[in-house]
Structure 1
Amino acid sequence: MTNSVLGVLLIQMMISCQIGSIQSAPLSSYLVSSFTSPDTDSKLPFNHIAINNITGDIYIGARERLYQLDSELTLKETVDTGSCPLLNNNRFVNDNKLIVPVVIPQNYKLITCGGCKNDCQVRNLANISLDLFNLGNTDEVAAKGDQPSVGVVALDADFDSRGVGKADGLFYLFIARSGGGPGSGFTFISKNSLVDIKSQQNIPANILTDDSTRSKHIISYKNFIYVFISRHEKTYLGRLCRNSLDEDFESYTEIELQCTRGGSQNIIQSAYIGPAGSQLAESMNINTTDDLLYAVFSSSPSSSLCVYKMIDVQQSFEDAILGCILGTETGIANSFMSGSKCEELDLRT
C-alpha cells in the first residue's frame, strides 16, 4: 500500500457472492468424526479452536479446560485450568479464549490466553499439559466477559511477487479484540511481540463509536492481515498492511461482506483462504490455483457457506480506498469509527 493512501483509516463497500449449482444436505451427511468433552460437565462451551498445520493436531480453548486432539479428533491431552474464586459473591468465569499455535522456524509452541486473571501462557506444542512459562497479566490480549478475541502469527517483512516473506523478517502475533467505544482502555487490533506478547503497534478501541464490534476470525494472507467482524447484525472484513510502519495502523480499511443466496445470513462464524480445486474452479471459470475466500455465515436457524474470489476481494478494497479519496459512490461514509477519513465526506451512496 502506498503512502498516498495511508491516511485512509476506514471506508466501506459491499461485495456479495452468487454461485450456481450449489448442493446442500443435512450436516450429518458430511460428518466424518466428532469430539465431545469427556468431563462430567460436558456443557462447558468451546471458545476457540486452532490447528497445527504440521502435525494436524487440534487445540481447543474451552471454559475451564484446554484440549489437544489428533487429526482424527481423538483426545490426546487435557488441561484443567480450574474455576475462578468467588469475589463479592460473583463467580468469575474461567474462559480460555485465545489459543494460537506458533509453528515457525524459531519457535514451536502454543500461546493460550484468558482464564481468571486474563493472562497468557506458553505451552508445549506437542503436549499442552507441559506449561513452559506464564507470561503474566496480558490484559491487552483476551477480551473480558463473553466477548471473543482472535489471533494469528504472521511474518512482518517485505514480500516478493508471490507474496512470500523474505528470510530476514520477524514473526509477530496479531490480535483482534471485541468491544470498544469511548473510554475503552484496550486495543482493537494490535501487533504483539512473540516474546512477551506486548503491543508493538495498535489501533485503540476507544476510536470505535460503540461496543458492538465482535472480532470473530483473523487470517494472514500475503501482505495483509484480514479481520472478520460482526457489527450491528452485519459482517465486515477489515484489512491492514502487516508490515505497516505507522504507529496506529492508519492503513486499516473495511468492506462489508454479504452472503445472500436464498435468504440473508449476515453473521460471520469462520473463514478460510485457499485454492479453488478443480470442480469449483470450473464452475466459477477460474484457475485451480486461484485463491478463494470461504466464509461461513449464520442467521437463526440456518447457516450458509459463501465463496468469494480473492482477486475480487482485493479489488473491492482498492475501489473503496480510491472512492474514499475521490468522494465517489464506492466510498461509503461510516459512523462507527471516529477519525475515519470518510466519516465527514459528503459521498454519493
Structure 2
Amino acid sequence: MWPLLRSLVAPRLGNLLLLGVLVLLTVPSLTRGQPQPFKSFSPPDWGLTHLAIHNKTGEVYVGTVNWIFKLSSNLTKLRSHMTGPVVDNEKCYPPPSVQSCPHDLAQTTNVNKLLLIDYAQNRLIACGSTSQGICQFLRLDDLFKLGEPHHRKEHYLSSVTESGTMSGVIITSQHGPASNLFIGTPIDGKSEYFPTLSSRKLMSNEENADMFSFVYQDEFVSSQLKIPSDTLSKFPAFDIYYIYGFSSEQFVYYLTMQLDTQLTSPDASGEQFFTSKIVRLCVDDSKFYSYVEFPIGCTKDGVEYRLIQDAYLSHPGKQLADSLGISEDEDILFTVFSQGQKNRAKPPKESALCLFTLRRIKEKIKERIQSCYRGEGKLSLPWLLNKELACINSPLQIDDNFCGQDFNQPLGGTSTIEGIPLFIDKEDGMTSVAAYDYHGNTVAFTGTRNGRMKKILVNSVSPTHPALLYENLVVSDGSSPILRDLLFSPDLQHIYTLSDKQVSRVPVESCEQYTTCGQCLGSKDPHCGWCVLHNMCSRKDRCERADEPQRFASDWRQCVELSVHPKNISVTMSQVQLVLEARNVPDLSAGVNCSFEGYVETDGHIQGSRIYCLSPSAHNVIPITRNKGDKRMVKLYLKSKETGKTFAGVDFVFYNCSVHSSCLSCVNGSFPCHWCKYRHICTQNANDCSFQEGRVNVSE
C-alpha cells in the first residue's frame, strides 16, 4: 500500500489534487481470534503530526505538513485546508509577509505543531512552523480561515519545525469574554524572539489587535518565561520540549524534557543528558510568580526511567482508586518514560508505564514551597536563574492554593517526584498513552514505536496484583511509531491512533474475536463477558437480558458445563433416550432442542435440572456415520428456542461394531462389541449371534 501512496508525494502546488485515502485495514490481533478491520485515513503526502477530536460531534481534525483535514468519526474526509508551502526563510524576522527580508526566500513546508479546539468560539487553532510560527483560526464546521494574526511579535510563537514539542492549554475565563492560552514551546536558541512559556489572550475576534498578547505586561514583569541568554551561551543546545499540558483544579501543568545542565558538560563534544520535569502555574497568575518545576520519573528494580514520552490525565476506576486510597473523581496522571537520560530524539526502547496521583504531586510541591518560605535552601533552578538565590524566610501561610509572591520564585524541586511503575516494556518501545475507567476497571492503552497498541488492565498498584497486558495489536505500518495524540471517541467505543502516515480508528474492545466462553473470559479483557444463550463474547450492554441470572458470564467458572448419559450408542440403535445435565444455565423455559452437529435436531424436554432428548433414528444416523470407521464423534449441542443459537456442547460418539473384521479388534475396542464365532461378524447386539455358535466379548 505505501509504495503506491509514495508515488503521489510532492505534487506541484499549482495543480495539486489531494486525495484523502480512506482504507480499511485488516489487522490481526496478536493474541487470538479473527482479524479485525480498522478504519483508517491516509493522505497521500503523509506527514501527519496532530489529532484533535470534538468532544460532542466526534469529528476528527488532523494536522499534517501543509494541510489540515476534517474527517467524520469513521474517518471519511469531509474538508481540507491548505496551510503551505509558504514563501519563507526562517532567518526572516519578522516574516517576509510583514516586511522585506534580505535572505533568500523559498517554498517552505509548514509543519503543524499545535492543533487545539477552542470550543467557546467554535474554532480550531492550528499553529505551524513557517512565518516564525504563526497560527491560523479555522471555523470548525468547514475549516474556513477566520484569521491569521501575523503582524506583531506576540503572533510569532516559534520557528522550530519539530512537531510533538509544543503544547497548549486553553483556560476559559470565568470573568470575561476572553480565554487564555498557555503555550510551551522550544525556541531553538532564539530567546530574544520567543518565550519558552507564556500565557496569551485568546480574543473572540480573530482580527483583534490584542490576540495572542501577553495576559499581563509591564516594564518589569509579564506573563512569560524566557530562557536566559547566559544559559544559551553556556549550553547552546539547551531547550525545553513540551510533551503534554493539562489543567487540574486551579493549576495548569506541563510535562517537559530539557537538557540536564547538571550532568551535561558545557563543551559541545561531551555527551548530552536530559531530564524530565513537571511544571506548574496557577491559571490566574498573570505574573508567573507561582512557577514551580520538579524533576519527574520512575524507577523499577533499580532501573531509572527519566525520558518522558507522553502523559494522559484521567480518573481511576473504583478498584484502582481503592488501591491508591483516593476517590474515583480525583485526577491521576498516566505517563510513559523511556529508560535513562540520553538520546532525546531516539530514546531506548526499554520503557515504563507509570502512574502519579495529582494529590501526591501537589503535596510535594506544597512541601517544597513551605520549606523555601521557612528560609531553607535555595531556589534551585540553575537553567533559569544564573546565580543561586537563597530562599527567604517569611511568616506566610502556604496552603494548597498558594500562588506565589514576588520573592521565593521561580522555584525548582531538588528531589525527583517518583511515579508508581505499572508495566515495563522491553520489546516494542512505548510512545504514547491514554486511559479510562470502564465499569470500575482502569484500562490503559499505549502506542509503540513499531505501530502496535497494548491494552493494559490497571486495577491495583500492589506488587502482588500487577498490571496485566491482555492484548497487543498491530494498528499501523510497522515502520511508523504511534504518535502522542492517542484520543478516545466521545462515546468511548473507539480510540484513535496517529502515525506519520495514517489515522486509525481502533475499537476499545474486540470481544467478538473470542469464539468460546473459555477464550472470552480467559482473555481478561474487562469489556468482555459471555452472553450465554446467544453463544457470543460481548459487552454486557450488548447482551439481551444480561441482568437476569446466568444469562451473562463474567468469570470462567460461570461457563456452561454439559454432560450426557449415555456418552455413546451404536449406529444400529435408534431413538435412544439421552439424559443431559447442564450447569450454569439460565432459565430455559422458552425451550431447547438437541442438535447433533447440525445433521439432525430432536426436541428437548426439561425436567428440573435435566434435559431429555432422543438420539436420531437409524435412518438419520447413516449420513452422520457413513465411511467414518468404527466410531464417529460429534458435538451434541443444546440449542435455545428463544435465540435460535446453540449455547452448550458435549462430545457424543456413534460407534460401529460391524467394521471390525477380526475377533481381537472387535472385542478389544472401547465399545461393547461382540464377535460371532462362526459367522465372523462383529456386532453390538449379542442376540445377533445364534445361540448354538456362541459369542466372544472378551479376549478368549
Q: Indicate the TM-score class for this superposition, using the shorter chain for normalisation.
A: 0.7 to 0.9
The CA RMSD over aligned residues, in Å, is 3.3
8 Å contact kept, 2:257–2:277: yes
| Residue equivalent to 2:170 | 153
Offset, 1:250? 1.7
Pick closer, same or farther for the CA change 1:304–1:125 going to 2, 3 Å: farther
Pick closer, same or farther for the CA change 1:60–1:266 going to 2, 3 Å: farther
Offset, 1:272? 2.4
Q: Deviations for 1:194-216, whole angstroms, at most 9, x for unmatched residues?
A: 12222223223233724321122
Pick closer, same or farther for the CA change 1:239–1:185 going to 2, 3 Å: same
The alignment status of 1:279 with 2:310, answered yes or no, reads no
Offset, 1:339? 6.2
Offset, 1:277? 1.1
Q: What is the rounded CA distance, in whole Å, between the counterparts of 2:242 and 2:29 in structure 1?
A: 26
Which residue of the other structure, out of 52, 56, 62, is the alignment partner of 1:50?
Answer: 52
Q: In the TM superposition, what are the counterparts of 1:282-301 in structure 2 within 5 Å?
A: 282-298=322-338, 299-301=347-349
Q: What is the rounded CA distance, in whole Å, between the counterparts of 1:206 and 1:54 in structure 2?
A: 39
8 Å contact kept, 2:375–2:390: yes
- TM-score, normalised to structure 2, is 0.39
Which residue of the other structure, out of 107, 125, 136, is the alignment partner of 2:140?
Answer: 125
8 Å contact kept, 2:256–2:278: yes
| Residue equivalent to 1:19 | none
The SS at the match of 2:85 is coil
The alignment status of 1:309 with 2:326, answered yes or no, reads no
8 Å contact kept, 2:86–2:107: yes
| Residue equivalent to 1:99 | 115
| Residue equivalent to 1:237 | 278
Q: In the TM superposition, what are the counterparts of 1:15-30 in structure 2 within 5 Å?
A: none
The SS at the match of 2:329 is coil
Pick closer, same or farther for the CA change 1:205–1:344 going to 2, 3 Å: same
Q: What is the rounded CA distance, in whole Å, between the counterparts of 2:305 and 2:215 in structure 1?
A: 36
Q: What is the rounded CA distance, in whole Å, between the counterparts of 1:34 and 1:142 in structure 2?
A: 35
Q: What is the rounded CA distance, in whole Å, between the counterparts of 2:292 and 2:29 in structure 1?
A: 35
Q: Which has the larger radius of gyration?
A: 2
The SS at the match of 1:281 is helix
The SS at the match of 1:146 is coil
Q: Deviations for 1:61-95, whole angstroms, at most 9, x for unmatched residues?
A: 22112122344444433323232347638663311
Paired residue type of 1:173: L
Pick closer, same or farther for the CA change 1:54–1:302 going to 2, 3 Å: farther
The alignment status of 1:333 with 2:380, answered yes or no, reads yes
| Residue equivalent to 2:295 | 256
Offset, 1:242? 0.9
The SS at the match of 2:321 is helix
Q: Aligned residue pairs: how many?
A: 303
Q: Deviations for 1:285-343, whole angstroms, at most 9, x for unmatched residues?
A: 332222211223334214332111110011111112223333547x6723111268xx3
Range that drifts further, 227-236 or 66-75 = 66-75
Structure with more contact order per residue of length (Cα contacts < 8 Å, sep ≥ 6): 1
- Tell me, which stretches of 5 or more residues in structure 1 are unaligned? 1-25, 158-166
8 Å contact kept, 2:64–2:111: yes
Pick closer, same or farther for the CA change 1:136–1:223 going to 2, 3 Å: same
Range that drifts further, 137-146 or 225-234 = 137-146
Which residue of the other structure, out of 195, 202, 218, is the alignment partner of 1:194?
Answer: 202
Identity fraction in percent: 24
- TM-score, normalised to structure 1, is 0.74
The SS at the match of 2:124 is strand
Q: What is the rounded CA distance, in whole Å, between the counterparts of 2:61 and 2:251 in structure 1?
A: 25
Paired residue type of 2:335: A
The SS at the match of 1:324 is helix
The SS at the match of 2:56 is coil
- Tell me, which stretches of 5 or more residues in structure 2 are unaligned? 1-27, 90-103, 204-210, 217-222, 233-237, 260-273, 339-346, 392-412, 416-700
Which residue of the other structure, out of 261, 265, 284, is the alignment partner of 2:305?
Answer: 265
The SS at the match of 2:289 is coil
Paired residue type of 2:201: S
Q: Deviations for 1:140-197, whole angstroms, at most 9, x for unmatched residues?
A: 324433263221210345xxxxxxxxx6674211111213768532212222121222
